[in-house]
Amino acid sequence: MHGKHILLGVTGGIAAYKSADLVRRLRERGAEVQVVMTDGAREFVTPMTFQALSGRAVRTDLWDPAAESSMGHIELARWADLVLIAPATADFLARLAGGRADDLLATTCLATAAPIALAPAMNQQMWANPATQANVALLKERAVHVFGPGTGDQACGEVGPGRMLEPTELAALVDSTLVPSGVLNGQRVLITAGPTREPIDPVRFISNRSSGKMGFAVAQAAREAGAEVLMICGPVALATPAGVRRVDVESAADMLAAVQAEVRRDDIFISTAAVADYRPAQAATHKIKKTEENLALQMARTTDIIGTLAAGAQRPAFVVGFAAETDTVEQNARSKMLRKNLDMIAANEVGHDKAFDCADNELIVLWRNGRKLLPRAAKTQLARELIELIAAVFAERRADAAHSAALPTAITKG
């Protein structure tokens, strides 16, 4: 980020105090930072704080006679390599989505050709409000980056999504947005994670012990490697990794529908989800009363998500499966890889306090002409090693395909 120009917009939320540290983190990475504050932001932090940290006079007023004598808002818009709004309040999201130009920050956003990134920060109910979600969806359609929000305790005393990401997270996301340098730059990665829930009746369901931690770690590692990451996950209590788009689903059928709606032929598809193999054939419409000593459930097979994708016309470019086995791990995993026409499979032993609900794991990774053991490590570290391996094998596969495609031409010319 050395020498890059970051225009940091600060709007009126309590998270504005974090923006002071964000200026420091961006400058540590070599960026020049120009702060623009709204009137609301000045109710929380003074311009002098940001001036001292950035080394530049803070801009606050669209009607500043000195600055606007040379069309200051246009000058700012041209100066920026990236505009980052942190915190971005619900009000600012609405004004930006509506194309308003009623203060210096909003006007600069309209006038710039630089990428714009938002770090939302607000009460969890405000974030969940349909109006806010509609504004965010519209901004994403316009290629605005949305970093977060995170989930956790909020200043109002509530808990949920809406916290601004931490300054170190935001600085890393700005870095990867401006200067992508990972092994998956330019790639789109679609990941499924977590368990599914198959309803028995309106209050009961069948599920499994998957926490989703491995899948979330893989999503984070893929994003760190420069990929555009979309995660489709079952019911889990985990915060979305920074910079990752997330779609929540409940059942295996829901997950299949979401995957089919989102998958593209150029994707790397990584199926870490522990999808139910069976579901109750007929879910009761009312709660089943405890009247009998025994209850028999008729079970039906769910649709195989990864098998369906791997065999379909929209088959992703590279398909990676996971195999959770209690015995003959490698043999069962290789059989699954061949049977379902996968490009790679990551196998791990489960049960007996292994893999599920654990912070660490180990994997045997298999592909058509290779095998590698990833020794036991924290799932975050293991995920990074797996992503590096996926990227290497995928690149090798593409190089082989390109060589094969060129071969007939070379023979003809010879």
So which residues are the catalytic ones?
Answer: 156
Label residues 377-397 b or e (16+ Cβ within 10 Å = b): bebbebbbbbbebbbebbeeb
Amino acid at the residue 31: A
Q: What single string gives the DSSP state of each residue in 158-210? A: -EEEEEPPPHHHHHHHHHHHHS--STTTT-EEEEEESB--EEEETTEEE--S-
Terminal Cα distance for the chain, rounded: 48
Between the CA of residue 235 and those of 48, 72, 75, 120, 211, what are the distances in Å?
Answer: 45, 49, 47, 23, 9
Residue (of 287, 177, 272, 277) closest to 231 by Cα position: 272
3-state SS class at 109: helix
Q: What distance separates the 2 farthest-apart alpha carbons in the chain?
A: 85
Alpha-carbon torsion (256, 259, 262, 267), positive or negative: negative
Residues contacting 98, CB < 8 A, separation 6+: none
**Alpha carbon distance 22, 32 (integer Å):** 12
Instruction: Please report which residue ranges of 188-272 form alpha helices under DSSP H.
Output: 213-224, 252-262
